[in-house]
Amino acid sequence: MNNLTRRSFLAGSASLTGLAVSGCVSSQTAPEPLPLSQDPSYLSMYRAMPEERFPLPQINLKKVPDRFYRQQVSYPTGERVGTLIVDTSNFYLYLVQENGMAMRYGVGLGRAGFEWSGRAKIARKAEWPKWTPPDEMIEREPELEQWSWRNGGMPPGPENPLGARALYIFQDNKDTLYRLHGTAEFWTIGSAVSSGCVRLMNQDIIDLHSRVPVGSPIVVI
């Protein structure tokens, strides 16, 4: 083998060796999964809603623990499909669905949210409702008298504590004064707050309002 042929052979061998080695090692790594707060499906779920009577801003999901995002979950239960279940210990609300599933929402609970438990029905629904604080609340916070039923209540709007929707709970045809309602204070979901009943992010209460007919059973545990 002459020198030129030998050099060509060695160069070719080195090239083949390099290809063999590089073929065994991947230069790519699997991309990191997006956090749920940046997941397009959740960003769409909690989008801004300019079409509402009072336009709603997008939820900043980074300020809400992702376990409280609306999601369908496995939830075997003896309750019939269409029943609402409020789990006050874990700050969840479930809408029972078929095949052992449920739509789960994160909630915040106020003082009233811990005071009542039992079985009842959704007797009324309202879009952008008025708010009338109960007399017991006015006794604690006299400045709320301006919004009492005697004065016509607080008009609907972004500052109204009931938010975009409300579901009214009655037991034996009597108002329990217990509500499922929206809130603009999305960062309070998953926690206990000073007042109120069961609060959901406004985008979630709008979704729930659309799914739950009047007369639906509710269980608070």
For residue 44, name the pLDDT band (cuts at 50, 70, 90): very high
Residue 29 above 90 pLDDT? no
d(CA 57, CA 131): 21
- The percentage of the chain sitting over the pLDDT mark of 90, rounded to a whole number, equals 68
**Averaged pLDDT, 144-154:** 91
Nearest to 200 by CA among 109, 90, 130: 109
Predicted pLDDT at 2: 46
Tokens of 195: 């007042």
Tell me the CB-side half-sphere exposure of residue 62, using CA atoms within 13 A: 2
Q: Is residue 6 part of a domain?
A: no
Nearest to 180 by CA among 204, 151, 160, 158: 204
Predicted pLDDT at 156: 96
Q: Is residue 29 part of a domain?
A: no
Predicted pLDDT at 8: 42
**Averaged pLDDT, 111-125:** 85
Looking only at Cα atoms, what is the longest distance across the chain? Answer: 110
Q: Is residue 28 part of a domain?
A: no
Q: Is residue 3 part of a domain?
A: no
For residue 88, name the pLDDT band (cuts at 50, 70, 90): very high
Q: Describe the chain by its helix, strand, coil percentages, rounded to 5.
A: 30, 30, 40
- Report which residue type is found at 194: S
Q: Is residue 9 part of a domain?
A: no
Find the CATH number of the domain harbouring 135: 2.40.440.10
d(CA 12, CA 74): 60
Q: Is residue 51 part of a domain?
A: yes
Query: What domain range is 101 assigned to?
Result: 36-220
Mean pLDDT of the chain: 87
Q: Is residue 132 part of a domain?
A: yes
Residue 12 above 60 pLDDT? no
Is 133 exposed, middle or buried (CB count within 10 Å of its CB: 0-12, 13-18, 19+)? buried
Q: Is residue 71 part of a domain?
A: yes
For residue 112, name the pLDDT band (cuts at 50, 70, 90): low
d(CA 156, CA 182): 12
Q: Which tens digits make up the pLDDT trace of 181-216?
A: 999 999 999 998 866 789 999 999 999 999 999 999
- The total number of structural domains in the chain stands at 1
Q: Is 57 left (phi over 0), alpha (psi -120 to 50) or beta?
A: beta
